[in-house]
């Protein structure tokens, strides 16, 4: 996974934009990025537009991060959405329509 940054294109919203794969091999870095995201003020988002592959380890981290109610998940492909559904997590992820 390329290095993620918490950036913002929308005033008053911090957005985490991971790139590449989000698998068990990237889970530690993704967790650290999510912790940094949660330190931001206001609404938060995870934009998965640059993610090519994802496994359940990182989906679980996202589900945990979204439990605060401040984080939305956006920009994911049909392939990633299908992965969410296959492992039974789609219902737990708050989404934001793009």
- Mean per-residue pLDDT of the chain: 82
pLDDT at position 41 is: 86
Kindly state the DSSP code that residue 79 receives in the 8-state scheme.
H
**Whole-structure pTM value:** 0.79
Cβ pair 15, 6 in contact under 8 A: yes
What is the separation of C-alpha 92 from the centre of its chain, rounded to a whole number of angstroms? 13
Give the tens place of pLDDT for each residue, 63-80: 899 888 888 899 988 888
Alpha carbons 83 and 40: distance in angstroms, whole number: 28
Burial class (CB in 10 A: 0-12, 13-18, 19+), 35: exposed
Task: Report helix, strand or coil for 37.
Answer: helix
Which one has a higher pLDDT value, 42 or 50? 50
Query: Would you say residue 25 has pLDDT above 70?
Result: yes
């Amino acid at each position: 996974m390329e290095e993620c940054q918490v950036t913002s294109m929308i005033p008053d919203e911090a957005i985490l934009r991971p790139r590449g794969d989000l698998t068990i091999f990237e889970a530690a870095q993704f967790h650290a990025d999510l912790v940094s995201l949660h330190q931001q003020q206001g609404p938060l988002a995870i934009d998965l537009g640059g993610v090519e592959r994802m496994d359940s380890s990182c989906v679980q981290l996202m589900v945990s991060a979204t439990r605060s109610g401040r984080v939305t998940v956006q920009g994911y492909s049909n392939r990633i959405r299908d992965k969410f559904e296959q492992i039974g997590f789609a219902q737990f992820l708050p989404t934001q329509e793009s």
